[in-house]
Structure 1
Amino acid sequence: MSGTSPSAATLYSRVEKVIPAIEWPVFADDIDAILRLKRERNAVILAHNYQTPEIFHCVADIVGDSLALARKAMEVEAEVIVLAGVHFMAETAKLLNPEKTVLIPDLGAGCSLADSITPEDVRLMRQRFPGVPVVTYVNTSAAVKAESDICCTSGNAKAVVESLGVPRVIMLPDEYLAQNIAAQTDVEIIAWKGHCEVHERFTPADIRELREAHPGVTVLAHPECPPEVVAEADFAGSTAAMSDYVGREKPARVVLITECSMSDNVSVGYPDIEFIRPCNLCPHMKRITLGNIRAALEENRHVVTIDPELAVRARLAVERMLAV
């Protein structure tokens, strides 16, 4: 950053529609410290779409869904990467940047999907379905990725499945994502029983109640939601696809059936659109705060490490995905 570097005072205008002015002084000191520390340490912050607005709009350098963060991580020239997201995302950034320091502000920022499957589970699935390729969602540990043939995200899952040119695949670990992709392709998909603890809570009744309470609302759902929820929606797609839909179609009234902060972050760019906010929080994403991002940069915590032999195999699965 040059002599015109932003400060907390100048950045408030980005988020004034979603953060009350009375709350801003609570964030300002950490924001100014983080901006300074990034310059001093040659660091960048990668933030997922589910991060809160003061992180997403005020200290992050790169924002997006899992696929965007994975792609952009490869282009980072900074020496230090702080991943404002969950642990599997930090591992993916490290896989793609093995020579850089990657920090995760809170080691407890996990994921119910990543926790739902182990490397041993993948090996057992291979034994049960010999010769069937394994497509693994990026919402998994590096150890699980290492047992896979190729990774995918919610944004590219269909393209990845069809890129293999086979009649059936094993798709792990999100059962609902697998079912929603199976409805879009002729490839037979063998699923696992993992679920996202945020998206599995939405129901078709929720959608119908929202439509009744807010006539004319456009409903956008994440494909980690149950298929019957996706069927009730007007559009289903990754967080990036939902954001793109809002920008392209500009519905007068919209609801994003996904994690809470997504609506806050997207609404900043579209003040004329009414966002209805059904609030299902991801407790793991919300473990990341300005305070622990600052501490990560000040104290170099928590450094993400991956066993080198395991990393080689996991990196290959991610790189195959990025080549699709």
Structure 2
Amino acid sequence: MNILELAQKQSTMMPDKYKTMNTEAMEARVREIKELLGTSLYIPGHHYQREEVIMFSDDTGDSLQLAQLSALNREADYIVFCGVHFMAETADILTNENQVVLLPDMRAGCSMADMADISQTERAWAKLQAIYGDTIIPLTYVNSTASIKAFVGRHGGATVTSSNAKEMVSWALTKKERILFLPDQHLGRNTAFDLGIPLDAMAVWDPIKDVLEDEGKSDIKVLLWKGHCSVHENFTVQNIESLRASQPGMNIIVHPECRREVVEAADYNGSTSYIIKMIENAPSGSKWAIGTEMNLVKRLMNHHPDKEIISLNPNMCPCLTMNRIDLPHLLWSLESILDKNPVNVISVDRQIADDAVLALNRMLERA
């Protein structure tokens, strides 16, 4: 079930009163509830969230980091996850049964995660097994649904993050001759290439057409799922060329979810955490064009006024699904806890959670 279907299935919608409250009243009420609930409440906020939400987060970080922090927080009865659906699922998988995970707006999904559903994946696996036999191990980016993580766990594979993708791909290739990398083809391609695997040893699986686009290639090592991040795919080589011409002193840093040609043309590439650290450690007066989500770019601009920071694509907007979590939805979630009727609870099926933990633990053991 994708996030649109989940949103349609959801019967409880945010009451209109939250749409008409002024910002000052909402902020004051959130502070009041946080004080009332104390350590029984934990609010993790992803780097790409709006500033109006991040200001109330107990911790900020990437998706897996926040899920791990949620799991370590045994005092919290309620975890209000300010991110997207797959992140809240991972938090529910890693926390104990007595902890309740809420997502302030059920429409906050991830287009990349929705590009690989379990039915497509099972069909692809059967066809790829018919082509290559038992020579494939699956890896999935943590930006995937719980069902995909569970599939990977059942088949001996592991999850990966953009920070540890190289380590996990290297590990996987000691287990089997080939890997199937879901759901982001760009992270898979960039990681494999950086490890010395040539592009002609990679092939793309199209889940819509149910075909391997490059089946004629010989000695395939990496099977890439045809998925992508709708934000990072909008950064282009033309953006870089234009910037090089107009501002030759600008450092260009991009996320590895960008296309291969964009990563090659940039000066640096790395995970969200890598980008943040690069900017933090950069000398005062340095100039940076960043190819990642706009909320984070704006936050880095505000936190580092001594540096010139711009978005690599001047026409970029924030991640639309991440942006669905706003102050009214956060307040609604918190008041529903006070009313002892929590809304938008994320609860992963026990068997799916158990299988997904296998994939997560294979990664965490190497962290």
TM range (shorter): 0.7 to 0.9
Kindly name which structure, 1 or 2, has the bigger radius of gyration based on alpha carbons.
2
1:297 is aligned with what amino acid? L
Aligned-partner Cα distance in 1 for 2:191–2:255: 12
- Structure 1 residues 33 and 174 mapped into 2: Cα distance closer, same or farther (>3 Å)? same
Q: Deviations over 1:75-119 (max 9, x none)?
A: 123111111111000001111113211000111111111111111
1:223, CA displacement in angstroms? 0.7
Range moving further from structure 2, 79-88 or 114-123: 114-123
Alpha-carbon separation, structure 1, partners of 2:269 and 2:26: 36
TM-score when normalising by structure 1: 0.87
From 286, 295, 301, the equivalent of 1:267 is 301
Judged with a 3 Å threshold, the aligned counterparts in structure 2 of structure 1 residues 290 and 314 are, in CA distance, closer, same or farther, namely same
Q: Which region of structure 1 is more displaced relative to structure 2, 27-36 or 131-140?
A: 27-36
Deviation for aligned residue 1:268: 3.2
1:199-238 per-residue CA deviation (whole Å, 9 max, x = no partner) reads: 1111100111123333311111011110111111111111
TM-score normalised according to structure 2 size: 0.77
Larger mean CA deviation between 238-247 and 274-283 belongs to 274-283
Residue of 156, 160, 165 corresponding to 2:164? 156
- Give the corresponding residue for 1:284: 321
Tell me the equivalent position of 1:172: 182
Please tell me whether the aligned partners of residues 252 and 267 of structure 2 are also in contact (alpha carbons under 8 angstroms): yes
Q: Secondary structure in 1 aligned to 2:239?
A: helix
Moved more, 227-236 or 117-126: 117-126
CA contact (8 A) 1:145 1:314 kept: yes
Structure 1 moving runs of 4+ over 6 Å: none
Q: Secondary structure at the match of 1:229?
A: helix
- Give the Cα separation in 1 of the matches to 2:116 and 2:92: 21
Q: How many residue pairs are counted as aligned between the two chains?
A: 299
Deviation at 1:39, TM superposition (A): 3.1
Aligned-pair CA distance for 1:72: 1.8
Q: Contact 2:67 / 2:88 at 8 angstroms: preserved in 1?
A: no
Give the one of 175, 187, 192 matched to 1:182.
192
Give the alignment of 1:1-324 within 5 angstroms: 27-41=23-37, 42-56=40-54, 58-77=55-74, 78-99=76-97, 100-127=99-126, 128-129=128-129, 130-148=134-152, 149-164=157-172, 165-166=174-175, 167-186=177-196, 188-250=221-283, 252-277=286-311, 278=314, 279-299=316-336, 300-324=342-366
Query: Secondary structure in 1 aligned to 2:159?
Result: strand
Give the letter for the 1:146 counterpart. Answer: A
Which residue identity does 1:256 align to in structure 2?
I
Tell me how large the CA RMSD over aligned residues is.
1.8
Q: Percent identity?
A: 36
Which structure 1 segments of 5+ residues have no match?
1-24
Matches of 1:248 and 1:39, distance apart in 2: 35
2:213 alignment partner in structure 1: none
Whether the aligned pair in 2 keeps the contact of 1:43 and 1:80 (CA below 8 Å) is yes
Partner letter of residue 345 of structure 2?
Answer: V
